[in-house]
Amino acid sequence: MHEYFADLHIHVGRNEAGKWVKIPTSKNLTVRNILEEASTRKGMDIVGLVDALSPLVLSDLEQLKAEGLLTPLGGGGYRYRDLTVLLGAEIETVEAEGNLAHTLIYLPDLAVMQRFSEVMSRYIRNIHISSQNAHMPLARLVEIAASFEAVIIPAHVFTPYKSLYGSCADRLSHLLPERLMAKISAIELGLSADTYMADRIDELAPFTFVTNSDAHSLVKIAREYNVLRLQAPTWQECLFALARRDGRAVTGNYGLNPLLGKYHRSLCSVCGHLDLGGEFIVHGACPHCGSIKIIKGVFERIDEIAAYPAPQHPAHRPPYHYQIPLEFVPGLGRKLLEKLLDRFGSEMRILHKASLAELAAVVGERLALEIDKARTGQTTIVAGGGGYYGKLVKD
């Protein structure tokens, strides 16, 4: 068995011809650029492209395959140099009350994804654009995806507006009968939550948790990621890891401290007051301006629906490591980051391999200490909320 770094939620912004696939995203977020960035600067071993439902992306992937740059793996997935590429789709569903949620679907190869795309095009009005509404409830999508033997992962499940717990239901079991609950492969936590928060919800105990970047630009790739223990980096082995089968497993979740997430705490959308002490709940409105237009934070939402006052971790739950992406580190600009990458090769080597002394030899002792605090979660943070990221504070 070996351990692999995996970010399973990366968006494609445009195809190679410049047509939009995911709006809004960075214009240079093409399949080729993603694979190059992930395999070199970021140091990932496995990535999931979650816009492969789009015929535009399928065409780009077929072109890479025709050029010999993308080769099929025996256990599903594809190889690009030393990087395993998994094909995924992020799809929006709608419940009877109009509430929306996003779900990630992964399939083993281009042929199966092509068939799945053809089926979903009967429901999605513009199949060329990512994350579109399928005009069906989650239960129907799970039924369809399960007929393709897909990996099914509800996405960023606590985020306001478009997620399972954030906008649709207090419990997953309210949306899915038991036979369909069994088809769910894992739960994606999202940037504003962590294991400690999610394990306050009793029905999530059986599920493997995944932490992914949900990258909308190249720099955001691997801001959250997983460590997978696998026999080999293939689609089938990843499926086994999510199911904790035959020794395969997710052995670590690396993510932002939830305080950095855009939706961690509640925010008044009128005056911008960020609620850090439960004032909105006490007053029923913003105590500063009186508005009831509140963007509820993940922290408050989990408090509402939690079964436990403190996390109850199941025995299979791996450690959750707080890690701050290098882009957040105060004082670490592009030029210094390039110097680090020239010296160590990838962000994973900077974060996991380089010693404090080695970092200091490149960027100086003071900045090396800031990087070390970031990679070990020992930083002071001002919380985010209402669509605004939290911020690191220099000690």
Question: What pLDDT does residue 23 have?
Answer: 82
Q: Is the pLDDT reported for residue 26 higher than 90? A: no
Q: What is the mean pLDDT of residues 164-184?
A: 96
The string over 225-259, giving b where at least 16 C-beta atoms fall within 10 Å of a residue's C-beta and e elsewhere, is: bbbbbbeebbbbbbbbbbeeeeebbbbbbbbbbbb
With 70 as the cut, is the pLDDT of residue 172 above it? yes
Is 90 exceeded by the pLDDT of residue 210?
A: yes
- Average pLDDT value for residue range 21-26: 83
Question: Distance between CA atoms of 221 and 56, rounded to whole angstroms?
Answer: 21
Q: What is the pLDDT of residue 288?
A: 87
280 residue type, one letter: F
Asked whether the predicted pLDDT for residue 15 surpasses 80, the reply is yes
Name the nearest CA neighbour of 271 among 252, 254, 293, 250. Answer: 293
CB 297 within 8 A of CB 387: no
H or E, element range at 197: helix 195-198
Tens-digit pLDDT profile for residues 366-376: 999 989 988 88
Percentage, residues of the chain above pLDDT 70: 100
Confidence band, pLDDT 50/70/90 cuts, at residue 178: very high
Query: Does 180 or 393 have the greater pLDDT score?
Result: 180
pLDDT, tens only, 103-143: 999 999 999 999 999 999 999 999 999 889 999 999 999 99
pLDDT of 56: 98
Taking the C-alpha atoms of residue 135 and residue 239, their distance in angstroms, rounded to an integer, is 27
Q: Give me the pLDDT at residue 6, please.
A: 98
Q: What confidence tens digit (pLDDT) does each residue in 60-89 have?
A: 999 999 999 999 999 999 999 999 999 999
Question: What does the pLDDT read at residue 279?
Answer: 78
pLDDT digits (tens, 9 = 90+) for 215-253: 999 999 999 999 999 999 999 999 999 999 999 999 999
CA-to-CA separations, 183 to 37, 143, 162, 347, 395, in angstroms, rounded: 33, 9, 21, 35, 46
What's the token pair of residue 347? Answer: 């962000």
Residue 395 has pLDDT above 70, yes or no: no
> Are the CB atoms for 165 and 305 separated by under 8 Å?
yes
- Bond into 318 cis (ω within 30): no
Q: Distance from CA of residue 258 to its chain's centroid?
A: 13
Give 126-185 as a 3 state SS string: CCCCCCCECCCCHHHHHHHHHHCCCEEEECCCCCCCECHHHHHCCCHHHCCCHHHHCCCC
- Residue 42: predicted pLDDT: 92
Q: Which domains does the chain have, with CATH numbers?
A: 2-257 (3.20.20.140), 325-376 (1.10.150)
pLDDT at 360 over 80: yes
For residue range 252-292, list pLDDT tens digits in order: 999 989 999 899 999 998 998 888 877 777 778 888 888 88
Compute the mean pLDDT over every residue in the chain, rounded to the nearest whole number: 94
CA 60, 14, 168, 224 torsion: positive or negative? positive
User: 201 pLDDT exceeds 70?
Assistant: yes
Give me the pLDDT at residue 176, please: 97
Q: What is the mean pLDDT of residues 146-160?
A: 97
Q: What is the mean pLDDT of residues 313-323?
A: 95
Q: What is the pLDDT of residue 180?
A: 98
Q: What is the pLDDT of residue 27?
A: 84
Going by the DSSP 8-state scheme, the letter that residue 317 receives in this structure is P
Identify the pLDDT of residue 149: 97
Number of Cβ within a 10 Å radius of residue 154: 26
In percent, the amount of the chain with pLDDT more than 90 equals 77
Helix (H, G, I), strand (E, B) or coil at 71: strand
159 and 298 in contact (C-beta within 8 Å)?
yes
